[in-house]
Structure 1
Amino acid sequence: MSDRLRFRVEGMDCGSCARKIETALTRVPGISDISINTTTETLRLRVAHADTGEQVEKVVRDLGYGITPVGEGAHHHHDHGAADGPWWQSAKGRLAILSGLGLASAWSLAMVLPGYEPWLYTAAMAIGLVPIARRAIAAAMAGAPFTIETLMTVAAVGAVIIGETEEAAIVVLLFLVGELLEGVAAGRARASIRSLSDLVPKTALIERNGSLEEVAAVTLAVGDVIAVRPGDRIPADGMIVSGESAIDEAPVTGESTPKRKGEGETVFAGTINTDGSLHVRVTAEARDNTIARVVRLVEEAQEAKAPTERFIDRFSRYYTPAVLVVGALVAILPPLLAGQPWGEWVYKGLAVLLIGCPCALVISTPAAIAAGLAAGARRGLLIKGGAVLETLGKVTAVALDKTGTLTEGRPQVTDVITLGEATGRDILEDAAALDATSSHPIAKAIVARAQADGIEVVPAVGVMALGGKGVKGRARRRSLFLGSPKAAAAIAPLSPEAEARIASLQEEGKTVSVLMVSDSPAGLIAVRDEPREDALEGLKVLKARGIAPVMLTGDNARTAAAIARALGVESRADLLPQDKLRIVNELKTQGQVVAKVGDGINDAPALAAADVGIAMGGGTDVALETADGAVLHGRVLDIARMIALSKATMGNIRQNIGVALGLKAVFLVTTVLGITGLWPAILADTGATVLVTANAMRLLGAGRNV
């Protein structure tokens, strides 16, 4: 029997830390399925025996990291301890301060006690080096001999042996400061993701026995009714039971204008209720609300490494031993073969070791990917993993669903045409009276339009639905009928002009209903599922970037053609789910990199088959699960934004690798030429690491202006 354990590990800043822990743990018998995520500081593994957990803790502690067990369920009550305090309270901070004080005291004592400098500086160096060396030995014994700590220890001890004690002490201090800066930078990346979960308020007002009671938002159960006052953040995903208000969804979706929402509409945790009092029935527990799911998806996404990241992982595995060999050759060959002074070349060899620290290189990709994923999540662009982020930038064709993706997904009244004396308002009033109590989408569209035009909707009496034909009833002492042109023509013939109007509306992909008053034709109402307001612009941006959009729909060819014409996009209609899948595969065989955008269960197969599947809007859970990403606000423009974010992230990674390798190359040359020494070498590595992380953090601000 095997158990899954979850730990929080403090002090991991980059991939090489994670790999060191992974290598050490794979040697412990009874451990399998190790997954480590440096960004969320989590370690998950499977153990064969319950007592293996203590062994895990010992191994990780010996390597110099803090470790605390976390329950598998306790995922979102972020119990972040000391690591989130100010930097000087962390273990790394304290060690760097101690080492600095040691160096300062050695320097001032050396003024008073000339001749004792080597001993004083060696003692100062030992303050920082002993913990580093302990970690290096623990890692070597656990099967990872080539760690940054090993390079550091060899270089510092070597410097003491050749009499460069002062420099050795400075190098150790700089190394500790560098590690501290890395820790602070990695902490910033973590905080950017966690700031999402801070959007949800900690408390909620719940209705119990007619009075309001304040409770922790985490304890809310599905079905509870909560009160949300104007100006408050909504503490849970839910449905409005009573009240109406404008909801500011900017924190979750980035949508700048508040949306008016009333009874029966859904609201998300973390959004702001601006002007009215609401009563909301909770529809998801705290750990399943939209934001918690976003945070969880982003965290899981970071565990799925991107291909570039895997390449860097493999590269650094061979890179560190190669650096040790080069350092040794630089130290030994010139004195042996050319009779050069040993001291000078051993010193250069040690500097080469320090230049070789792989940290900046190893962190270059994950830092950018973590920042890219977090930047997306803040704007409602969910991307599940580095690999997806990488593929998005290569997309050449986008297959978009029509209903609910390119269009609103619900019909709207487009035309009201009078056939007799009655005005357009009269026609809407009569039609809405018949449809007042119906839940049919077209009926709802007619009632919504009447209300928008300020017409008071009074339900008709004796309303009866005639299967497949329409509805009849009475209002203002007249008999009314609203139904299909065919059913209306059976009651009384329509004029040729009316027939022509109906035909042209149907040509535009609209559904036409005829209103009969006292058995004579009074007017026509046409409805259609209209494109989203940003659909045209979103498709234009995609085309401008050289990406070919194609619309896929199960709808009839006439409706599809009308919408496709309006949006200027190629369309394929009358499709079943398997046809959508086939088309995606056809595009792929033509060598296209295909993104599929859809919102329904019927899209799941095609979403899974595409190179990147993007779920649209709040979409169905199935679409969210099978997709590689999601556009939470259902904007077509966001698809172009997602692709732009991917390109920005991949560009950022290339810059990072360039900075890391470039600085190393420069210092390698200057060291061998004897221009720079040990401490500029370690500064180069620290500097590169900080530059790389800072560059990655730029992504958090990017992506707004697409």
Structure 2
Amino acid sequence: MTTLTEQQPKEAITWPAHLELIAAILSGALILTAWISGKYGLETLSVPLYITAFIIGGFAKAKEGIEDTINDKELNVEMLMVFAAIGAAFIGYWAEGAVLIFIFALSGALESYTLNKSHKEISALMELQPEEAWLLQEDGTAIKVATSSLKVGSILLVKPGERVPVDGNITFGVSSIDMSAVNGESIPVTKEIGDELFAGTVNLSGAIQIKMTKPSSETLFQKIITLVQSAQSEKSPSQQFIERFEGTYVKAVIIIVLIMMVVPHYLFGWDWMTTLYRAIVLLVVASPCALVASIMPATLAAVSNGAKKGVLFKGGVHLEHLGSLKAIAFDKTGTLTNGKPIVTDFYVRDGADPDATLTMLASIESQSNHPLAVAITKYAVNKGITLDRNLHIKDVPGHGIRAIIDTQEFLVGNPRFVGKELTEEFQQGVALSLADEGKTIIFMKDDKGIIAAAALRDSLRPEAIEAITQLKKSGILTIMLTGDNEKTAAAIAKQAGLDSYVAECLPEMKVNHLKRLLIDYKNVGMVGDGINDAPALATATSGIAMGEGTDVALETADIVLMQNDLRRISYAIKLSRKMQRIVKQNVLFSISIILVLIVSNFLQVVDLPLGVIGHEGSTILVILNGLRMLNHIE
């Protein structure tokens, strides 16, 4: 049957489908004219019309069948149909043979349409790639050049409303960027100097300049296109089995048909015409067209559906495996959590002014680029605090910051730096209860003791709890594997609703835990976001990476969540399970139809026209059933 394994320009993949459909319709019109001519006794006109219908309707399929037979050295279903049509004409059943060719051509056109439709997302992505860019010259002028001619390090101008032509970093300007082409998010993101931009995204407001960091052939956008292309061309295990089965089955059909051309005449006393006729009908109804078409259209449609929702599969094998998962392991930081700490609690010494104390703490922390310091500074700014950045501070690596304000010394940092006993006594030992909740605490000390404490914790992704709930409803065990400490891991696991967790896991320990899970559950997924998760992603049955626009995610995992939305895992699993149901429906239906038609033919209940309709009709139905995978999954 027809397959499309390479991405071509949009016109190149739609025109042949239209040509196939036109040929089928023209063949049908000729058959109708020939039949009417025969009714009025114009046999000399009807036979040439039937022959013309044979040639026009069957040329594409006959050419495909002959070429594939020569290349693969295996007979295929196209050749069976050609033999059946020629056999029908040979014994004088011109109309039946022509109708067979017509319906076979029609089903082939429908299959081509289905496969082309599954490539729609790729065509849309290809159109989003800018072919030209504004290259800035040394004198400050900009000239338009082909994107393919650009070199790494080039400085480009991106005007408002234009698509970013290459991956790069902003060197001048601030603008809102529509990232939907990369991660599916509809809300624009503000980007400024130093931020990374990706090809295919849209500059919405200000003019910006970017420095090209990757060749145009290696951009994130191009990698996404390549990823989906390879996914659509890679066959699932079920499809590979069907294709291996096809060659053997076709040979068996040919042998049985040859036997039926002779044996029934002697064994059952059939006349030679009936024997040959029933052999030709058997050749038609026993062909596995519907069986061959049971899987590929559904798989391609499911891959396309996932791509449209921001879930990229690296092939049909990974899509098929996903629906069989019994357990999923999650990394914590950057996967279940946002990977950025936030202030959850702020305490001050009795009698101290909360706003003035926060102002002092945040002003000191604003001089540091440590993630915890950045979080405290952001917390204060969000509360409307005005910071004093003209402070004299000294960074003490691994401990905290020493600051001098109006000749008074302040220490900001961990318990070891400010005095562990003082921290335990502060506010009736509140630090201990905060630590039990898995929070990290930063203290500020003056000459009187601890004046303030800020508790921070990496925040859970907004959708994490819902995503875990969905997976548990699907009967999947959820586990967290994290390198964080026991208290933090326990707090996050409880908040997310996970079934279990393992704390203080190094990368190699994650792999060992996954191997144990694979022994217990056979099919296990792993969700991670970084380089340290790569070994575990490779070990799991299905490695699922958070997109974040990283090359590591695209190159390591089997499945990529471009929208960084954990709920998409549940959607992808539903997509896989629905595809498996549809494939099973198609296989069962196609085999049942073949068996019913074979038995009916042997009992002389079904004639050639009805056999043609039953056989080709079942092929059309399984293709249409597979096309349902393009629809949204509830």
TM superposition score normalised by structure 2: 0.89
**What residue is the counterpart of 2:320 in the other structure?**
390
Counterpart AA for 1:458 = D
Counterpart AA for 1:284 = K
- Structure-2 change in CA distance of 1:607 and 1:441 (3 Å): same
**What residue is the counterpart of 1:57 in the other structure?**
none
- Structure-2 change in CA distance of 1:493 and 1:279 (3 Å): same
The whole-number CA distance in structure 1 between the counterparts of 2:13 and 2:110 is 13
Please say if 1:40 is aligned against 2:2: no
Alignment of 1:469-480 (within 5 A): 469-474=399-404, 479-480=409-410
**What residue is the counterpart of 1:533 in the other structure?**
462
Q: Deviations for 1:506-552, whole angstroms, at most 9, x for unmatched residues? A: 22222211223566533111212121111111111111212111111
Instruction: State the SS of the aligned residue for 2:454.
Output: strand
**What residue is the counterpart of 2:556 in the other structure?**
626
- Structure-2 change in CA distance of 1:522 and 1:229 (3 Å): farther
Which deviates more, 589-598 or 618-627? 618-627
Shift of 1:583: 0.7
Q: Deviations for 1:363-395, whole angstroms, at most 9, x for unmatched residues? A: 321222222222222222222222221211111
- Structure-2 change in CA distance of 1:286 and 1:552 (3 Å): same
Question: Contact 2:135–2:156 at 8 Å: present in 1 too?
Answer: yes
Question: Contact 1:432–1:447 at 8 Å: present in 2 too?
Answer: yes
The whole-number CA distance in structure 2 between the counterparts of 1:134 and 1:383 is 33
**649, 652, 662: which one aligns with 2:582:** 652
- Structure-2 change in CA distance of 1:572 and 1:341 (3 Å): same
- Structure-2 change in CA distance of 1:139 and 1:278 (3 Å): closer
The whole-number CA distance in structure 2 between the counterparts of 1:538 and 1:154 is 54
Shift of 1:166: 2.8
Please say if 1:435 is aligned against 2:424: no
**465, 489, 503: which one aligns with 2:432:** 503
Counterpart AA for 1:393 = G
Alignment of 1:213-612 (within 5 A): 213-274=143-204, 277-474=207-404, 479-489=409-419, 496-498=425-427, 500-517=429-446, 520-569=449-498, 570-612=500-542
Instruction: State the SS of the aligned residue for 1:635.
Output: coil
Alignment of 1:197-208 (within 5 A): 197-208=126-137
Counterpart AA for 1:453 = K
* Count of aligned pairs between the two proteins: 631
Listed as ranges, the gaps of 5+ residues in structure 2 are none
**33, 40, 48: which one aligns with 1:120:** 48
Q: Deviations for 1:11-39, whole angstroms, at most 9, x for unmatched residues? A: x713xxxxxxxxxxxxxxxxxxxxxxx33
CA RMSD in angstroms, aligned pairs only: 3.2
**What residue is the counterpart of 1:13 in the other structure?**
2
Please say if 1:698 is aligned against 2:610: no
Shift of 1:658: 2.8
**What residue is the counterpart of 2:92 in the other structure?**
163
The whole-number CA distance in structure 1 between the counterparts of 2:445 and 2:76 is 84
Shift of 1:442: 1.0
Which deviates more, 199-208 or 553-562? 199-208
The whole-number CA distance in structure 2 between the counterparts of 1:165 and 1:193 is 43
**What residue is the counterpart of 2:617 in the other structure?**
687
The whole-number CA distance in structure 1 between the counterparts of 2:72 and 2:168 is 51
The one of the two structures with greater contact order (alpha-carbon pairs below 8 A, sep at least 6) is: 2
Which deviates more, 298-307 or 239-248? 239-248
Shift of 1:592: 4.0
- Structure-2 change in CA distance of 1:236 and 1:618 (3 Å): same
Please say if 1:614 is aligned against 2:544: yes
Alignment of 1:143-154 (within 5 A): 144=73, 146-154=75-83
Question: Contact 2:328–2:478 at 8 Å: present in 1 too?
Answer: yes
Shift of 1:281: 3.7
Instruction: State the SS of the aligned residue for 2:325.
Output: coil
- Structure-2 change in CA distance of 1:114 and 1:384 (3 Å): closer
The whole-number CA distance in structure 2 between the counterparts of 1:459 and 1:249 is 34
The whole-number CA distance in structure 1 between the counterparts of 2:241 and 2:579 is 16
Question: Contact 2:119–2:304 at 8 Å: present in 1 too?
Answer: no
Which deviates more, 418-427 or 538-547? 418-427
Instruction: State the SS of the aligned residue for 2:419.
Output: helix
Shift of 1:580: 1.0
Which deviates more, 274-283 or 430-439? 274-283
Q: Deviations for 1:329-373, whole angstroms, at most 9, x for unmatched residues? A: 444443332223332342232122122333332232122222222
**106, 119, 135: which one aligns with 1:177:** 106
Which deviates more, 153-162 or 525-534? 153-162
Which deviates more, 349-358 or 210-219? 210-219
Instruction: State the SS of the aligned residue for 1:439.
Output: coil
Question: Contact 2:38–2:46 at 8 Å: present in 1 too?
Answer: no
Question: Contact 1:411–1:530 at 8 Å: present in 2 too?
Answer: yes
User: Once the two structures are aligned, what percentage of the paired residues are identical?
Assistant: 34
- Structure-2 change in CA distance of 1:104 and 1:624 (3 Å): closer
Instruction: State the SS of the aligned residue for 1:188.
Output: helix
Q: Deviations for 1:251-291, whole angstroms, at most 9, x for unmatched residues? A: 43333544444443334333444455544444333322223
Alignment of 1:132-143 (within 5 A): none
Question: Contact 1:206–1:214 at 8 Å: present in 2 too?
Answer: yes
Question: Contact 1:121–1:166 at 8 Å: present in 2 too?
Answer: no
Question: Contact 1:302–1:370 at 8 Å: present in 2 too?
Answer: yes
The whole-number CA distance in structure 1 between the counterparts of 2:582 and 2:560 is 23
The whole-number CA distance in structure 2 between the counterparts of 1:555 and 1:135 is 59
Q: Deviations for 1:628-651, whole angstroms, at most 9, x for unmatched residues? A: 222223222222222222112212
Instruction: State the SS of the aligned residue for 2:119.
Output: helix
Which deviates more, 103-112 or 447-456? 103-112
Q: Deviations for 1:433-482, whole angstroms, at most 9, x for unmatched residues? A: 22224221111112222222233333132221123332123457765432
The whole-number CA distance in structure 2 between the counterparts of 1:425 and 1:221 is 52
Listed as ranges, the gaps of 5+ residues in structure 1 are 1-11, 15-37, 42-77
Question: Contact 1:469–1:487 at 8 Å: present in 2 too?
Answer: yes
Alignment of 1:48-63 (within 5 A): none
The whole-number CA distance in structure 2 between the counterparts of 1:164 and 1:567 is 69
Instruction: State the SS of the aligned residue for 1:527.
Output: strand
Shift of 1:554: 1.1
The whole-number CA distance in structure 2 between the counterparts of 1:255 and 1:584 is 32
Shift of 1:564: 1.8
